[in-house]
């Protein structure tokens, strides 16, 4: 399904927020379903919606102005969910909301294809393996449409669907991305993602110190107090999955 000719602008986030802090619902897609993984393990999935379009529609009905969508199969090199994600993007566009897509975007062609359909792409592995490509995409589309995801386990960046851990430190990658013109990072604590264990503030604070621009975080959010902690650390928002689906975090946030 193609998007309407007039897509929402790809500027600043407008998800329901308090004090400028954005909470962005996450729709992870594996095997055509909306799921959440525990610590990024594809064998430890919880299915929340059999139809990802319905999952996105739920958050849009509650006032979401942006959705963070991840194609887990593409990230793992096990196929893709392009069709259903395009349908979800079309629905979001009809509601005046934006979509950013990540997972397996590791080439210029892949980024070009998604950016013809959604407002932003999220790059992960290529930030480590081919930072020059990230720089080319920033030059081609502008920093408002290119986001880099720094997904870390014990301080080092996880790549290729989080199945490999590189030797690159998360803070080092954050500084490199700043140098090549990236102006938004998503930091994810892989060891806490999907666990509802709560936020570990120390690695988040280190990335915040290393990257002076827009910083969003995720991984381990369990209750509203975790979002308050992110705010105190100076973050601009959070991407939240399981805590929203299971209702341990209110959405939209109370003013």
**Domains contained in the chain, CATH given:** 22-245 (3.20.20.70)
Per-residue b or e along 218-248, where b marks 16 or more CB atoms closer than 10 Å to that residue's CB: bbbbbebebbebbbebebbbbbbbbbbbeee
pLDDT per residue, tens digit, the chain (255 aa), is 333 334 445 443 333 444 589 999 999 999 999 998 887 778 889 999 999 999 999 999 999 999 999 999 999 888 999 999 999 999 999 999 999 999 999 999 999 999 999 999 999 999 999 999 999 999 999 999 999 999 998 888 988 766 778 889 999 999 999 999 999 999 999 888 777 889 999 999 999 999 999 999 988 899 999 999 999 999 999 999 999 999 999 999 877
Amino acid 21: pLDDT: 94
Amino acid 17: pLDDT: 44
Active site residue 226: no
Amino acid 238: pLDDT: 97
Give the residue carrying structure tokens 């110190």: 209
- Rounded CA-CA distance 244/122 in Å is 21
Alpha helices in the chain (DSSP H): 52-61, 72-75, 82-94, 108-115, 125-129, 131-141, 170-179, 201-210, 224-232, 242-245
Q: Which of 71, 73, 151, 226 is catalytic?
A: 151
Give the residue carrying structure tokens 């991407």: 239
- Rounded CA-CA distance 131/41 in Å is 26
**Residue 237 bridge partners (DSSP):** 22, 216
Sign of CA dihedral 86, 35, 170, 22: positive
Amino acid 85: pLDDT: 98
Active site residue 28: yes
Residue 118 gets which letter from DSSP?
S
Amino acid 221: pLDDT: 93
Q: How many alpha carbons lie under 13 Å from residue 225 in its C-beta half-sphere?
A: 5
Amino acid 67: pLDDT: 98
Q: Which of 28, 189, 193, 236 is catalytic?
A: 28
Nearest to 152, CA basis, from 131, 127, 133:
127
């Amino acid at each position: 399904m193609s998007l309407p000719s007039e897509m929402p602008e790809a500027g600043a986030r407008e998800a329901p927020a308090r004090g400028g802090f954005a909470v962005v619902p996450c729709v992870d897609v594996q095997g055509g379903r909306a799921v959440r993984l525990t610590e990024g393990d594809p064998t430890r999935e919880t299915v929340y919606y059999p139809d990802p379009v319905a999952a996105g529609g739920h958050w849009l009905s509650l006032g979401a102005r942006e959705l963070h969508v991840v194609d887990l199969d593409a990230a793992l090199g096990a196929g893709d969910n392009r069709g259903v994600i395009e349908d979800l993007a079309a629905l979001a566009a009809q509601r005046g909301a934006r979509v950013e897509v990540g997972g397996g975007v590791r080439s210029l062609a892949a980024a070009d294809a998604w950016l013809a359909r959604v407002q932003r792409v999220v790059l992960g592995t290529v930030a480590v393996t081919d930072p020059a490509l990230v720089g080319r995409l920033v030059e081609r589309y502008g920093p408002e449409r290119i986001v880099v995801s720094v997904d870390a386990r014990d301080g080092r960046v996880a790549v290729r669907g989080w199945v490999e851990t590189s030797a690159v430190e998360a803070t080092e990658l954050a500084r490199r991305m700043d140098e090549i013109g990236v102006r938004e990072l998503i930091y994810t604590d892989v060891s806490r993602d999907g666990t509802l264990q709560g936020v570990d503030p120390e690695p988040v604070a280190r990335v915040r110190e290393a990257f002076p621009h827009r910083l969003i975080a995720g991984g381990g959010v369990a209750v509203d107090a975790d979002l308050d902690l992110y705010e105190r650390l100076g973050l601009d928002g959070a991407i939240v999955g399981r805590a929203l689906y299971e209702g341990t975090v209110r959405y939209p946030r109370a003013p």
